[in-house]
Structure 1
């Protein structure tokens, strides 16, 4: 098999891109690494912003009474709201109202938008999931507190009801809503390419994009074929856990970087796609283990290992499911056969700590193996 040049690790791969925003940057990153790109925006390139009158009325409502808690959900939404408030001459009042409240933010983009206005969040979840913001509040008594929620592209009505059940007085400000792409033809073509397994991977940068793709597949009568393709040959690549969670309904496995960033997602694909093609992707006890050089991925998430545990895992992966003796594993360790079997036991323990105890099995008096 021909190996792709080091500076073009995605040479020969055809990758679908569903993003509507920052698409030029994503396509450039992929093409620079050798990939061919099929672009089909899942959503409108210009989200449907609520008209000025409606947003202004909502802003005036926010300013009419003190705010006890403010929940920021998206950076683009906060920037749009601050920009509109500035046009109306209300920015200072809005910043003051939010600044006097306890501020919780969903993720770094909303944090960034807040901080540009001199506002500081009290807490934000590492997961960047709004569900974790709600979980953070679940045990608190919110009786009588006025909570303002900046709604992102999808409705947060259920979240608002949950907060009201805890006694909160909730005001929802809808800055924009996500709309489907104006021209559905490229998305229909993307569905066919996925269902026919002609793409190696498809990237997703938002949960609504996942929903839009699966809706299009449903309209075409190809939803089952798309899900099956993602479960087998086409890699669903998500920018982060919020996007990946949207695939759970269809049982689609995904890969995602440890940091929810576009560059990190592309970097992950550089390792994952060539490794899968070269046959170093190993099913282990219901999980997918990928070894590519010194990189280890478990279900698409990078796992860091030191040299000893990595050497043991690589040796076990040579013949998955077959028993490897302690002596053979000892020889595979950086210190070689001069070490002790205790070193093997320690290395195996660290492998298990990194990828899970069930994935490496002990075969009494014989050695170890990767679980079938």
Structure 2
């Protein structure tokens, strides 16, 4: 490993289909050996023209009070379709009068390119935060249109209907698993055997497709065990990372949901894990993790942790200073631990008892984070 090639000696798996060449080049330039196993089809499949036209005409046909945009690729594809069908101006006119909420910067960019302005977008780029923004509002009689992002958002519709809204979803494209699953099978075998150091993920549907593929050949539990041991699940952002929560897979992700930031994080994370993880906590205290997750050094003093607080610490140190939800921490707790958020609170309390009360910060309504030196 050299300064110019910080990933020399590491093997990294890439599961992206779109823009995979760019990501592979970034990794190889840093010295990594890359295995490519696309989890999804190269291009999203646009829904049938007739179906999309019917949905578009329905949006145009009545006043839209609120519009929720979820993806840049979906918005661009919808506007392009509407333009080809001669429906673009009526569609833009209909949306222009609505309260527009966008999930993230890519959807914002697609909206602004067509002269539309969002009223609000969450910094987190998470759709859950869009719903949180709306929670508590009286939506009685409001007509809300939601652009789906390749996977069903039917639960979103149900949640908004409980607040009194009338909800329509517009499905522009659907994502499908890669036509050839063999590369995924081979990747699953490498993860299970610990023959790869990290695997990158750029979308939640890719996680779902890969775990389904691993399950089809009886490797899902082995893949989960591999990730829980030494293989790093490196995600582009919190939305993708959340897809791993149900499997109890620990993840890392950068502050900015960008491919380059994800690769940059791996530059630091993989060498640091090989050498032993050292973190400077707030107040100048030094935390060292090496080997046994239940044994850490705090300012040079050995501290023994029981399995539950050790699991919480492992999840928090994966993204020092970043908030980890209670649900995500619950997924990391050892089997046999009571399956409720109270178990997380107890594990956090024990961790604070071992490392100091200020080592773990509570972020109201969101979760916990490791208090690190700024």
Q: TM-score range by the shorter chain?
A: 0.7 to 0.9
Question: Which has the larger displacement, 230-239 or 116-125?
Answer: 116-125
Deviations 1:272-314 (A, max 9, x none): 0011112x22xxxxxxxx44xxxx6xxxxxx8x7xxx55x427
Unaligned ranges ≥5, structure 1: 282-289, 297-302, 326-352, 363-372
1:321 corresponds to: 297
Match of 1:360 among 355, 362, 366: 355
Match of 2:69 among 67, 72, 78: 72
Match of 2:255 among 258, 261, 264: 258
The within-5 A match list for 1:1-372 is 4-278=1-275, 280-281=276-277, 290-291=278-279, 309-310=283-284, 312-313=285-286, 320-321=296-297, 358=352, 360-361=355-356
Query: Per the alignment, in what secondary structure is the counterpart of residue 90 of structure 2?
Result: helix
Q: Are the structure 2 counterparts of residues 321 and 7 from structure 1 closer, same or farther at C-alpha, using a change threshold of 3 Å?
A: closer
> 1:323 & 1:23 partners in 2: Cα distance?
42
Larger radius of gyration: 1
Question: Does the aligned pair in 1 maintain the 2:8–2:32 contact within 8 Å?
Answer: yes
Query: Per the alignment, in what secondary structure is the counterpart of residue 210 of structure 1?
Result: helix
Deviations 1:314-346 (A, max 9, x none): 7x7799436659xxxxxxxxxxxxxxxxxxxxx
Query: Alignment RMSD, CA only?
Result: 2.2
Question: Does the aligned pair in 1 maintain the 2:298–2:355 contact within 8 Å?
Answer: no
1:367 corresponds to: none
1:287 corresponds to: none
Question: Which has the larger displacement, 239-248 or 91-100?
Answer: 91-100
Cα offset for 1:68? 0.4
Query: Per the alignment, in what secondary structure is the counterpart of residue 78 of structure 1?
Result: helix
Unaligned ranges ≥5, structure 2: 302-319, 323-347, 358-374
Give the alignment's TM-score, normalised by structure 1. 0.78
Give the alignment's TM-score, normalised by structure 2. 0.78
Cα offset for 1:354? 6.2
> 1:46 & 1:99 partners in 2: Cα distance?
29
